[in-house]
Amino acid sequence: MNTISAVTVNFRETAAIGGNKVSKPQKPEKPPVLVDPPEPVAKLPRPVLLIAGGSRKEKGLPELIHYLTAGGNNAFGGVYGVDKRAEFEEEFKKNPGNVFTLRFSKQFGSFPNDAGDVKQAVEDIRRMTGADEIDVVAECKAAQTMREYMRQGNDGVRNLLMIVPPNHGLPVGGDIAALVAKGVKFLHLPIKSFQGYPVDKDSFDALSSFSTDWSLGPFKGNKTVHAYNTPDNIAREKEVLHSLTVVAGEGRNLLSQQFGPGLPFPIMRGDHSVPNWSAYLPHAQNFFFDGERSIHGQVKSHPEALAKIAETLLSDGAPKKDENYLESSPTVGWVMARSVAWTASFAGRISVASTSISGNPIGKTGRALGVFGAGLSVLEGSVQLAGAITGDAPGGRTRAAIGGLSKFTQAAGVAAGLAGLGWPAAAMIAGGLFVSALTN
């Protein structure tokens, strides 16, 4: 992908924002990575509210504040909090700006709770600036808060940009968090704080809202997020918004920041927390960026992503569809089916490898799973080798070629194991799986 020319990345303790210095947050945090735009961002057509993801931030998204205000065409207008409305308005009268951030009233509130803060912020900023509508840039959890805001029937937002949004949940990580939260509530455990933050029922409701949005008849994996993805709610979002844009990272294995290379499932690749298919929305403009800063918490300082956000705001929600634009993505149902197939395939390969080592006979089920695993390995390997030949494979030809050969090695190992070759078969399967994990 192309990189932006004349971009400098600086690590600073504080940033010059709107002529003032941003004081350090109350909780110690790493200094933000500040990216200077190639040239100052032109005057934005309307006020912009920036909302950071995760837990409450004293001053959220400093990287984006700096990018939009560097050069002086736009000015930082302050941090809005529903508990400090009077102070915010008084400061705005002294130093009016057009770029604002939102500080939530709760440290880690549920989507409905935080949506109430957004509603008040949008109303007050519109009133104070005289704007009919404002634009909003929301990161991760805050993106889902914005979907709740619209689901409640609110408007006043023209262009909504989502950064690394878990629009279909957080596979594995979110599922574990939801399971723990539900367990705490069910068992009435006396937990009052988490990582130094106070928590209550509303906080555990928030944690319960990050599980994967799967559906099997009447059963739903995440009822909250599922409600956002219904046809009726999507129609509502299309009606309320002038434009909806997703900006996310790609090219990282799921959980690669937590467990070495992460889970080697191509379908789960994304920013290491949110797979592409989870961030993607069919009624949005979807842009995915790879490279050094494509990790979940770093996309907000990715030079190309920042440039795309500024372009979207300046063009009234009509950015150019460049090489980062994703036209389509697998549905959640397809992803779930693919994941089940991969799991069965993986179990088959492991079954053959273990029986090859132990010398025990393999049963009918293990044999069937082994054959299925070998077949899927051949299919995946063929796709990777084809990508290596055409040059279309992610990560380059060499990586794709090695990955493809590792899949064929696994298939050959399964065949050898079913033929009773023992340790050599197990070594081929294990070696193929290891190389595959490194090259996926």
* Rounded-to-integer distance, Cα 362 and Cα 366, Å: 6
Please classify residue 412 by burial: count the beta carbons closer than 10 Å to its beta carbon, then call 0-12 exposed, 13-18 middle and 19+ buried. middle
pLDDT of 26 above 60: no
**Cβ–Cβ under 8 Å, residues 156 and 134:** yes
Of 59-68, 117-126, 228-237, 392-401, the poorest mean pLDDT is in 392-401
Confidence of residue 12 (pLDDT cuts 50, 70, 90): very low
**Cβ–Cβ under 8 Å, residues 171 and 278:** yes
pLDDT at residue 22, as a whole number:
44
Collapsed DSSP state (helix, strand, coil) of residue 128: helix
Percent of residues, the chain, with pLDDT higher than 70: 91
pLDDT at residue 246, as a whole number:
99
Whole-model pTM: value is: 0.81
Q: How far is CA 50 from CA 4, 112, 135, 319, 357, in A?
A: 23, 18, 9, 19, 57
Q: pLDDT tens across 285-300, in order?
A: 999 999 889 999 999 9
> What integer best gives the mean pLDDT of the chain?
88
| Cβ contacts of 2 within 8 Å, gap of 6 or more | 304, 323
pLDDT at residue 13, as a whole number:
35
| Cβ contacts of 417 within 8 Å, gap of 6 or more | 352, 353, 355, 356, 362, 370, 425, 426, 429
Start-to-end Cα distance in the chain: 19
Confidence of residue 20 (pLDDT cuts 50, 70, 90): very low
Of 183-197, 246-260, 407-421, the poorest mean pLDDT is in 183-197
Of 151-165, 227-241, 374-388, the poorest mean pLDDT is in 374-388
pLDDT at residue 146, as a whole number:
98
pLDDT of 266 above 80: no
pLDDT of 89 above 60: yes
Average pLDDT over residues 172-200: 82
Instruction: Please report the sign of the dihedral spanned by the C-alpha atoms of residue 10, residue 12, residue 17, residue 19.
Output: negative
Collapsed DSSP state (helix, strand, coil) of residue 143: helix
Triad 267, 319, 68: Cα angle to 5°: 100
Q: pLDDT tens across 311-331, in order?
A: 999 999 999 999 999 998 888
Percent of residues, the chain, with pLDDT higher than 90: 62
pLDDT of 24 above 50: no
Q: How far is CA 39 from CA 16, 71, 277, 302, in A?
A: 16, 8, 33, 16
pLDDT of 83 above 50: yes
Confidence of residue 11 (pLDDT cuts 50, 70, 90): very low
Q: pLDDT tens across 136-149, in order?
A: 999 999 999 999 99
Q: Which residues pair with 289 in a beta bridge?
A: 249
pLDDT at residue 58, as a whole number:
82
* Rounded-to-integer distance, Cα 316 and Cα 44, Å: 9
Q: Which residues pair with 163 in a beta bridge?
A: 139, 247
* Closest by CA position to 359, among listed 422, 425, 429: 422
Most confident of 53-62, 76-85, 173-182, 194-203: 76-85
* Closest by CA position to 414, among listed 375, 364, 358: 375
Q: pLDDT tens across 358-375, in order?
A: 988 889 999 999 999 999
* Closest by CA position to 288, among listed 330, 245, 250: 250
Q: For tokens 């380059």, name the residue.
A: 396
* Rounded-to-integer distance, Cα 310 and Cα 69, Å: 11
pLDDT at residue 8, as a whole number:
43
Please classify residue 49 by burial: count the beta carbons closer than 10 Å to its beta carbon, then call 0-12 exposed, 13-18 middle and 19+ buried. buried
pLDDT at residue 17, as a whole number:
43
Q: Please name the amino acid found at residue 151.
A: R
pLDDT at residue 6, as a whole number:
39
* Rounded-to-integer distance, Cα 213 and Cα 238, Å: 21
Please classify residue 230 by burial: count the beta carbons closer than 10 Å to its beta carbon, then call 0-12 exposed, 13-18 middle and 19+ buried. exposed
Confidence of residue 236 (pLDDT cuts 50, 70, 90): very high
* Rounded-to-integer distance, Cα 224 and Cα 240, Å: 20
pLDDT at residue 350, as a whole number:
93
For the chain, which residues make up each domain, given as ranges?
8-314, 332-439
Please classify residue 137 by burial: count the beta carbons closer than 10 Å to its beta carbon, then call 0-12 exposed, 13-18 middle and 19+ buried. buried
Q: Which token pair is 90?
A: 């008084």
Higher pLDDT, 12 or 146: 146
Tell the CATH topology of 8-314.
Rossmann fold (3.40.50)
Category of 332 on φ-ψ map: left (φ > 0), alpha (ψ -120 to 50) or beta: alpha
pLDDT of 21 above 60: no
Collapsed DSSP state (helix, strand, coil) of residue 88: helix
Q: How many CB atoms lie within 10 A of CB 216?
A: 9
pLDDT at residue 310, as a whole number:
98
Q: Which token pair is 148?
A: 């709740």
pLDDT at residue 252, as a whole number:
87
Category of 241 on φ-ψ map: left (φ > 0), alpha (ψ -120 to 50) or beta: beta
Of 41-55, 189-203, 337-351, 425-439, the poorest mean pLDDT is in 189-203
* Rounded-to-integer distance, Cα 215 and Cα 238, Å: 23
Secondary element (H or E) of residue 344: helix 332-358
* Rounded-to-integer distance, Cα 120 and Cα 335, Å: 38
Of 35-49, 103-117, 141-155, 336-350, the poorest mean pLDDT is in 336-350
